[in-house]
Structure formats: C-alpha cells, structure tokens
Structure 1
Amino acid sequence: MKILVAGATGNTGLRLTQELKDRGHDPVALVRESSDTSALPDGVETRLGDLADLDQGVTHGCEAVVFAAGSGGDTSEEMTDKIDRDGAIRLIELCEQSDVRRFVMLSSVGADDPDPEGELAHYLKAKHDADERLKQSPLDYAILRPVSLTDDGPTGEVVLGDEVDPQAKAARGDVAVLLADATLQDEWTGRIALMQST
C-alpha cells in the first residue's frame, strides 16, 4: 500500500515511516523544501508539500494518509492554526477529492473537550477542530490520542481507551506502531483511541 505520511521527518513520523516500510508497504514522505530528509529510511519516496499551502495533487496515487505532523505546543497560535487545524483539514479535503480512502490522525489527549483555560488550550482546540472535520468525512478514519510523548522506542506495553491516565506518558515508538496498525487494519476503522505506554 502507498501511504502518504505528513510529518514524516518529525520524531514520530520518522518512526512511523520506518515501521510502514518494515511491514512491506510504501510510505511517501511529505516534506518541505527546507526539510532535513537525511534520517528517512533508504529508498523512501519524498513528495514536496507545505501543510500551510498544499497543492491539489499531493495525495496522487496514495491509498491512505497519516497526519503525524504538528506545530507543537510552543509555536504561535497562528502557526498552530495553519498546521494542526487548517493543514489537516485541507489534507482531508484533498483525500475526499482523490482515490484516498483511509485517513489516520495523530491527535492528542484532551482534544475531545479542550479546557479553554489549559496551558495547551489553543493547540488542543486546533486538534479538536481537525478531528471533528475528519469524523464528518466519508473517509475511513482512525484517530489516535496519546498522552504526553517521550522519545522512547516501542515498549509493546500500551493501554488504550478509558483506562488511560491523562498524566501518563506515551513512547513515540509505541505511537508509531499503533499509527501503522490504524492505517493497515480494518478493525481500527472509525475508532478514536486514547493511549499511553506502561
């Protein structure tokens, strides 16, 4: 399967790209002209595209898309909106207009009901809006909402659903494995899952 990965050069996206390749699929890394692509797995196709201004053909030939990008909680509100909300929604729209049938969103714990007084209020509201747009889409979708991320590799020990502790941690390695599962496994279709590592 050819799978477009938005955020492929980020800490989680790199792990996901490798995971998809290891499983025998063809990840396509969505990168900007300024992106450092040196850490991408050998032979991975790259496709130029800026989430703040995506071109029509960016999803061409892909069967699935994973949005693993994020401005992070430390950028300006304007950039957060451009990437985490508007960029994600634009990519969803492009998928709807193409042959893409599956869209997997890397979201965040708290995006279901953002606390307007919280430290990450604007970031979580942007994630919330993108998630809601995806849920309204005819695409087969899955949404993964991890707790605070660490740079650890996969532990293989995760908790999903209502038992997740919002104050816990999630290893990026585990997140990458679950994003790959959500992309490739039908049982993830329509699923919205909180997750943490144990």
Structure 2
Amino acid sequence: MNVLVAGATGKTGRRLIGELQNKGHTPIAMVRESSDTSVLPQGAETRLGDLKNLQDDICQDCDAVVFAAGSGSDTSEEMTMKVDRDGAMRLVDLAAKSGVARFVMLSSVGADQPEQGGNMQHYLQAKHDADEHLKASGLTYAILRPVRLTDDDGQRDMRFGDGVDPGASAARGDVAAALAEAVDDENWSGRVLLMQSA
C-alpha cells in the first residue's frame, strides 16, 4: 500500500516510516521545504506538503493516510489549531475526495474530554475536533490515543482500551508500531483506542 504520512520527520513519524517499510508498504513522507529529511529511513519517498496550506492533490495515488503530526508543546494556541485541528481536518477531507481506503489518526489521551485538560485544553480540543471530523467523514478510520509519550523505542508490549492507565507512558516506538498495524488490520477499523506501553 502507498501510505501518506503527515508528521513524517517528527519523533514518532520517522519511526512510523521504518515500521511501514518493514511491513512491505510504500510510505510517502509528507514534508515541508524546510523539513530535515535526513532523519528519515533510507529510501523513503517524500512529497511536499504543508498542513497549514495543503494542496488538493496531496493524497493522490495513496491507499492510506496516517496523521502523526503535532504542532509541538511550545507552540501557540493559534498554531496548534492550524496544524492539529484545521490541517488534520483538511487532510481528512482531501483523503475522502481522493478515494483513500483508510485514515489512521494519532490523537491523545484526554481528547474525549478536552475541557478537563487544564493547560493542555486547547491541544486536546484540537485533537477532539479532528477526531470527530474523521469519524463523520465516511472514511474507514482508526484513532489511537496514547498516554504520555516517551522517546523510547519500546518492547512492542502494548496495552489498549479500557485497561490503559492514564498515568502510564507510551514509547514512541510502540506508538509507531501500533499506527503501522492500524493501516491494514481490519480489527482496527472504526475504533478509538487508548494505548500504553506495558
């Protein structure tokens, strides 16, 4: 499958590119002109695109899309909304128009109740809005909501669903592996899953 990855040069996205390659897919890293593509695995295909101003054909010839982008914890509320909400929602719309078979969204624990997010409320609201837009899009989707992320690779020992401890952590390597699995595993279809590393 040709899989477009938004956020491909981020800490989770670059791991996801490798996971997709290992599963036999052809990942297409969506990058900006200023992106550091040296962090991507060797042989990764790239496609220019900016979540703040996506071109209409960004999803052309793609079988699946994974949104693994994030504006970052030190960005303004305005930028968070532009990337994590508006950019994600536009990508969903373009994927639907292009006939993409599946859309996988990297969300966050707490996105179901953003009003309880404290100083993370605007970020969680952006994630919530994007998740709800995806669910209403008609696309086959999967939404992953990991708990606090760490930069570890993880052991691929993961826990999903109601048994997840909101105070636990999730290794980015494990998150990337779960996102790659969601691309072609029918068991993920139409599901919103909390996730932690065990």
Task: Report the TM-score when normalising by structure 1.
Answer: 0.98
> 1:78 matched to which residue of 2?
78
Aligned partner of 2:79: which letter?
A: M
Is there any run of 5+ residues in structure 1 with no aligned partner, and where? none
* Matched residue SS, 1:162: helix
The answer as to whether partners of 1:28 and 1:45 remain within 8 angstroms in 2 is: yes
Q: What CA deviation, in whole Å up to 9, does each residue of 1:140-188 have, x standing for no partner?
A: 0000000010011131211111111111100001000000011111111
State the partner residue of 1:14.
Answer: 14
The residue type equivalent to 1:2 in the other structure is: N
Task: Name the CA distance, whole Å, in 1 between partners of 2:112 and 2:58.
Answer: 28
What residue number does 1:197 align with?
Answer: 197
Q: CA deviation at 1:22?
A: 1.1
The alpha-carbon deviation at position 117 of structure 1 amounts to: 5.7
Q: In the aligned structure 2, how far is the partner of 1:129 from the partner of 1:20? A: 27
Residue ranges of structure 2 left out of the alignment (5+ in a row): none
Residues 1:109 and 1:82: Cα distance change in structure 2 (over 3 Å): same
- 109-118 or 81-90: bigger deviation: 109-118
Amino acid aligned to 1:179: L
Matched residues in 1 for 2:37 and 2:17: separation? 12
Shift of 1:191: 0.8
Work out whether residues 31 and 49 of structure 1, in 8 Å CA contact, stay in contact via their aligned partners in 2.
yes
1:169 and 2:169 aligned: yes
Shift of 1:20: 0.3
Match of 2:155? 155
Q: Which range is displaced more, 26-35 or 115-124?
A: 115-124
User: Aligned partners of 1:160 and 1:82: how far apart in 2?
Assistant: 29
- State yes or no: 1:50 paired with 2:50: yes
1:93 is paired with a residue whose SS is: helix
CA distance in structure 1 between the aligned counterparts of 2:135 and 2:186, rounded to whole angstroms: 16
What's 2:179 paired with?
179
Equivalent in the alignment of 2:128: 128
Distance in 1 of aligned mates of 2:151 and 2:46: 24
What one-letter code is carried by the residue in structure 2 that aligns with 1:40? L
Equivalent residue, structure 2, for 1:29: 29
- Counterpart of 1:119, as a letter, is N
Deviation at 1:23, TM superposition (A): 1.1
Q: Runs ≥4 in structure 1, deviation > 2 angstroms? A: none
Per-residue CA deviation, residues 97-135 of structure 1 (Å, 9 max, x unaligned), is 112121000000000111356120000000000000001
Q: Find the aligned partners of 1:191 and 1:138 in 2 and give their Cα distance.
A: 13
Count how many residue pairs are aligned between Structure 1 and Structure 2.
Answer: 198
> CA offset at residue 73 of structure 1?
2.6
The answer to whether the 8 Å contact 2:49/2:58 transfers is: yes
My pick for the range that moved more, 69-78 or 110-119, is: 110-119
1:53-132 equivalences in 2 (<5 Å): 53-116=53-116, 118-132=118-132
Q: Is the 8 A contact 1:154 1:177 kept in 2?
A: no
